[in-house]
Amino acid sequence: MSDPTPDPNPYRLIGPSEDGQVNDLLAGRDQAEARQRLQALIAEWLRMENLVVLTGAGSSVSLGGKTMTDLESCVLDTVSRLADIPAPIKTIIAARMADSITGGDDIPGFEDWLSFLVNAEVVTRHAQSPFSGLNWKSGVTPSKDDLAWFIDRIGKAIFLECALTLPTDTSKETPQIAFLAKLIARDSNLGRAHIFTLNYDTLPEQAMDLLGIQYFDGFGGRAQARFDPSVYGLDIYYPGEIAEGRVRRFDKFAHLYKLHGSVHWYVDGGELHARHPALPTKEQYRALTSDEKAVKLNQLAATLPSIGILPTVNKFAQTLSMPFAQLFRSFQIRLSAPQTLLLVLGYGFGDDHVTRLIETALMNPSLVMLVVEPNPASPIIDRIKRYKDLGKRAFILTPTADAFALAKFRYATFDDFAQSIMPDVKWLADFLRLRAFEKQIQAGQPPLTK
């Protein structure tokens, strides 16, 4: 009886090989050999001195998150159906949605478009402004009250769409839990993990709280947490024992940066604060129709918190632009550090201001970049291949065309990378079993024997 044919390898790891050419480093290997090779490379890269992670919308999709395009569509569709919408705003939304459908290089992305919107509100609202109103290309001149209403409703609609929560069964290994547990399992003598995310949801914070990971997120204080970027210069250590005469680093620790803001940010008295609101009651919102969402949004408008700061890139209001400037500067500094691994997950390279920083960082001769992309036909692949001219250590992990045809968006997703590709950590399985045991005790059930 002949040996069974080895399972085909579902992955491609495209990057520079020893001869300097861009090749598939997993070519010619079966599934077991390819996975072994892939995990060995990732384990080696994770031992680099500095670790920088960039996550985008793709890291939250499995728990209800939306890509930026889908988020814009949902938010504007809902706001356009509100009963008290000013007529000029309705025209502006219709024009924007039409532009989004037609596309084109001259159509700004959602963040850029929001920047123009916020700037328009600032220059019409300010007491010293010489402008009484601004004409839009759609042929309307919204008042400052119209624009203030629009920005408020957009922020609240974004909040509702991004109020994501981890599954209530915390004994299960969700991708966010698996990813963060494996990330902080690095040698404690190496640099701390710096996690940058473009998402507004608080899934990373929820997962770190669950795992007992301590983190600094740019805010200082507890009762009234204020934005204070100096906290990123701090670390956590155990107090030294008298006999030892030295301190030890706390193992489970990371730095978190929300590059586009967060649902738990808010502005009070010209200062940026952070307060985590109750989220579970908002879970059902995303399952409603657009008309039902509009009714719900109207009902909650008076009491619902808005996303703290809209994710814009060019504000006139200094108190609001300062956090983003500080956070992007931190991203640039971390990428320029020697011996750095940049791990990119769920990001489509659609934000020019982010992509420019990455491309500049590729000049760093000791930086390695790994991009995880689930679509083998994505233009991102050609982009990464072209990066060979900037730096010789840019890699992209993507499925083969055959694997993608058999199971679309199964391989090289954030979930797949976190749960199946990253090297396992022993304590995570024990931790999840303990969580299951605690749940059974709370429910008055007999514990599992296995």
Q: Which residues are 194's β-sheet partners?
A: 52, 255
What pLDDT is recorded for position 428? Answer: 61
Of 8-12, 103-107, 153-157, 295-299, give the lowest mean pLDDT range: 103-107
Is residue 447 scored above 60 in pLDDT? no
Mapping DSSP onto H, E and C, the string for 369-423 reads: EEEECCCCCCHHHHHHHHHHHCCCCEEEEEECHHHHHHCCCCCCCHHHHHHHHCC
Closest among 324, 203, 200, 321 to 262, alpha carbons compared: 200
Mean pLDDT of 330-353: 93
Q: What structural domains does the chain harbor?
A: 11-64+168-266+315-441 (3.40.50.1220), 68-164 (no CATH)
Distance, in Å, from the CA atom of 146 to the CA atom of 121, rounded to the nearest integer, reads 9
Distance CA 256, CA 263 (A): 15
The phi and psi torsions of 128 (rounded to 5 degrees) equal -95, 5
Angle made by CA atoms 135, 119, 100, in degrees to the nearest 5: 70
CA dihedral sign, ordered 103, 108, 114, 117: negative
Q: pLDDT tens digits for 215-241?
A: 999 999 888 888 888 999 988 888 766
How does strand 11-16 pair with strand 340-345?
A: unpaired
Rounded mean pLDDT of the chain? 84
Pairing type for strands 219-220 and 225-227 reads antiparallel
Mean pLDDT (whole number) for 84-106? 88
Q: In this structure, which amino acid lies at residue 329?
A: R
Question: Which of 114-127 are b and which e, b meaning 16 or more Cβ less than 10 Å from the residue's Cβ?
Answer: bbebbbbbbbbeee
Residue 384's contacts (CB-CB under 8 Å, 6 or more residues apart) are 14, 15, 371, 394, 395, 396
29-62 pLDDT per residue, tens: 988 899 889 988 999 999 999 999 999 999 999 9
Of the candidates 208, 210, 207, 232, the one whose C-alpha atom is nearest the C-alpha of residue 219 is 232
Which pLDDT score is estimated for 111? 79
Token representation of residue 89: 């705003």
Q: What percent of the chain lies above the pLDDT cut of 70? A: 84
Listed in sequence order, the residues at least 6 apart from 17 whose beta carbon sits closer than 8 Å to its beta carbon are 23, 25
The SS3 assignment for 217 reads coil
Lowest mean pLDDT among 74-83, 213-222, 387-396: 387-396
CB 253 within 8 A of CB 195: no
According to DSSP, the residues that pair with 238 across neighbouring strands are: 248
Residue with tokens 């399972």: 7
pTM: 0.87
Considering only CA atoms, which of 415, 319, 342 is closest in space to residue 374?
A: 415
Mean pLDDT of the 432-445 span? 59
Residue 407 contacts by C-beta under 8 Å, 6 or more apart in sequence? none
